[in-house]
Amino acid sequence: MIILIISTLMAGGLLAWFLSKTNAHLSRIIALISLLLCSAAFLYYFITNHEIILASSGWLEEIHFTWIPQFGISFHMAMDGLSLLMIALTLFLGILGVLASWKEITERTGFYYFNLLWILAGIVGVFTALDLFLFFFFWEIMLIPMFFLIGIWGHENRKYAAYKFFLFTQASGLLMLLSILGMGLIFYQNTGKFSYDYIDLLTVQPEGTLGLLLMFGFLIAFIVKLPVVPFHNWLPDAHTQAPTAGSLILAGLLLKTGAYGIIRFVVPFFPVASHQFAPYAMVLGAIGILYGAVLAFSQTDLKRLVAYTSVSHMGFVMLGVFAFNELAYQGVVMQMVSHGISTGALFLLVGMLYERTHTRDLTQMGGLWQNVPKIGAVGLLFAMASLGLPGLGNFIAEFLVLSGSFQASKVITAVASIGLVLGTIYSLRLFQRVFQGSMHKDWRISDLSTREAIVMGSLIIAIVWLGWYPQPVIDIVQPTIQLVLDQMAMHATF
């Protein structure tokens, strides 16, 4: 299954690139078809196996080949509930990404869709790789096409943004590579053989300063990606400058690889060190929530505003992950999914408005509800999602994270929950500045097209469904969360 998806995406990307020479429109169709094929296969897999999936507590599917045996590097991939969920999100947002690019991208379409599909392939790989070398490999695969996506098809300041994105992630990735090597070496010292396998490295459990240092290697890579203040500066530029689908994938998926990494690797590998660092991490999370929200409020570039809301929302992830309890962890996973959907939707919305008005400047907009009430209603719904209105998925996420982190630290949570008020302030500003008040210009713009209505409609269904019946998501990831928490309980004493 995993191989099928990744290879279909990669092959689809190559095909889209080569065939674009004959027909420029062919590439987008190929991209869509390959994503739909993956989704159909994935759906089929899920439907036929859903009983096993919900019942099992281990890996649902595992692929294991030796790759470079001299160094203990193997081609080891596996999928559990968390991976499954994240792959589902990847495919879903991937399809929407292609649809969002349908008309926006007119230059070098073949290469564009190649990059898009390869990013998605890299992301699926990241969510499933169980060999640390392989993981690092996929980590890079999603980085480089994204660099091109921003640098070639981005907005006015795209080169700067692309380099910034590349340097931040690459520098932090390097630290992770060092930590991976360090873990491998310790395993060699302990057992006399090389291995970079997740299962093997779980037994390493480095302690003391060494443990802390190795943990920081991983953690920094992940919190740059997440991002956590003060490592967030690549994000506003990258998100603002990227084409719509790029922002969608950055916010919806790439940031989630950071959260995934912390849950999958940092906490199980270094329970003791994580536990030591937890208070500081939670403070960083709370700072991120507030700092991102204050900055979001002051932005006049609509896209930049949405980008900073991501900084704020990902603060909840940081806060929750280091609270080490089930409520918070379920909240974190819900946040990963809901934020992917809601912020993805907001970026799509900004893209639609940009396509129509050719501006992202909030001071130029205003009163657009008169012209485009449908877009307005969608904007209202997702502004509400971003302020955490109950009935939408983000509420479940924030509520669970905060109620979990409250058990870990009342003070930090109380401070973090100021973010709920600040979230209201920036979300309302976003909605009102665009859609309410008087019109500054005589905009004559059209409302949602059918293609756009399908895209937004599916996002709305997803976010409402998560808000009213999140239990399937909770059940799917429960075993994964239990394992992480067990690992924590086994090694760290509270």
Partner 1 sequence: MMNFIWLIPFIPFLGFLVLVFWGKYLSKRTIPLVGVGSVGFASLITILAGINFLSNPPANDFFELKLWTWMNVGGFAPSIGFHFDALTLAFVFVITFVGFLIHVYSAEYMHDDDDYARFFAYMNLFVSAMLMLVMADNLVLMYLGWEGVGLCSFLLIGFWYKESANAAAARKAFIVTRVGDTAMALGLFLLIIHFNTLDIHEILQKAPVQWAEGSSIATWAALLLLGGALGKSAQVPLQTWLPDAMAGPSPVSALIHAATMVTAGVYLIARNHVLFELSPIAMETVAIIGAVTLLLAGFAAIAQYDIKRVLAYSTISQIGYMFLALGLGAWSAGIFHFMIHAFFKALLFLGAGAVIHALHNEQNMFKMGGLKKELPVIFWTFLAGSGALAALPLITAGFYSKDQILWFAWSSEKGSPLLWAAAFFGAFVTSIYTFRMVFITFFGNVKTHVHHSPGKMIKIPLIVLATLSIVGGFIELPHNFGHITIFSDFLSPVLPEVVLGHEGGNTELLFQLFTGATGLVGIYIAWFFWFKNPSIVYNLKTSSFGKSLHGYLINGLGFDWLYDHAFVRPFTWISNINKNDAIDLLYTGIANGAQGLNKSFSRMQTGNIRWYATGIVIGLIITLAMVLFL
Check binding of 236 to partner 1 (CB under 8 A): yes
Check binding of 432 to partner 1 (CB under 8 A): yes
Distance CA 387, CA 92 (A): 23
* Residue (of 388, 254, 213) closest to 316 by Cα position: 388
The region of 3-11, 218-226, 347-355, 367-375 touching partner 1 under the rule CB under 8 A is: 367-375
Nearest-approach distance from CB 159 to partner 1, in angstroms: 13
Residues 6+ apart with CB under 8 A from 225: 169, 172, 254, 255, 257, 258, 261
Choosing from 72, 258, 470, 479, the residue that interacts with partner 1 (CB under 8 A) is 470
Distance CA 20, CA 110 (A): 5
The residue (of 259 and 477) whose beta carbon lies closer to partner 1 is 477
Nearest-approach distance from CB 313 to partner 1, in angstroms: 16
Nearest-approach distance from CB 492 to partner 1, in angstroms: 19
Question: Which stretch of DSSP H or E encloses residue 147?
Answer: helix 132-153
Burial of 90 (0-12, 13-18, 19+ CB in 10 A): buried
The residue (of 183 and 267) whose beta carbon lies closer to partner 1 is 267
The residue (of 136 and 435) whose beta carbon lies closer to partner 1 is 435
The region of 178-186, 204-212, 261-269, 289-297 touching partner 1 under the rule CB under 8 A is: 289-297
Distance CA 293, CA 417 (A): 12
Burial of 484 (0-12, 13-18, 19+ CB in 10 A): buried
Choosing from 124, 314, 341, 384, the residue that interacts with partner 1 (CB under 8 A) is 384
Choosing from 7, 23, 66, 298, the residue that interacts with partner 1 (CB under 8 A) is 298
Nearest-approach distance from CB 364 to partner 1, in angstroms: 15
Distance CA 75, CA 131 (A): 7
* 3-state class (DSSP) for residue 344: helix
Choosing from 297, 322, 324, 382, the residue that interacts with partner 1 (CB under 8 A) is 297
| Residue 299, phi then psi, degrees to nearest 5 | -70, 145
Check binding of 229 to partner 1 (CB under 8 A): yes
Choosing from 417, 464, 465, 483, the residue that interacts with partner 1 (CB under 8 A) is 417
What one-character-per-residue DSSP string does 227-296 give?
T-TTS-THHHHHHHHS-HHHHHHIIIIIHHHHHHHIIIIIHHH-HHHHHHHHHHHHHHHHHHHHHHHHHH
Distance CA 452, CA 149 (A): 22
Distance CA 336, CA 323 (A): 16
The residue (of 182 and 367) whose beta carbon lies closer to partner 1 is 367
* Residue (of 373, 385, 342, 382) closest to 448 by Cα position: 373
Q: Scan residues 433-462 and list those touching partner 1 (CB under 8 A).
A: 435-438
* 3-state class (DSSP) for residue 140: helix
Among all chains, which residue has been given the structure tokens 């209105």?
Answer: 389
The residue (of 116 and 408) whose beta carbon lies closer to partner 1 is 408
Nearest-approach distance from CB 106 to partner 1, in angstroms: 32
Check binding of 400 to partner 1 (CB under 8 A): yes
Nearest-approach distance from CB 193 to partner 1, in angstroms: 39
* 3-state class (DSSP) for residue 325: coil
Q: Scan residues 119-178 and list those touching partner 1 (CB under 8 A).
A: 164
Check binding of 303 to partner 1 (CB under 8 A): no
Q: Scan residues 322-361 and list those touching partner 1 (CB under 8 A).
A: 326-327, 330
The region of 206-214, 271-279, 339-347, 428-436 touching partner 1 under the rule CB under 8 A is: 428-436
The region of 3-11, 53-61, 344-352, 427-435 touching partner 1 under the rule CB under 8 A is: 427-435
Distance CA 420, CA 341 (A): 19
Distance CA 299, CA 131 (A): 41
Choosing from 124, 263, 396, 484, the residue that interacts with partner 1 (CB under 8 A) is 396
Choosing from 203, 390, 457, 489, the residue that interacts with partner 1 (CB under 8 A) is 390
Footprint of partner 1 (CB under 8 A): 164, 229-230, 232-233, 236, 294-295, 297-299, 326-327, 330, 367, 369-370, 377, 384, 389-391, 395-396, 399-400, 402-403, 406-407, 413-414, 417-418, 420-421, 424-425, 428-429, 432, 435-438, 468-471, 474
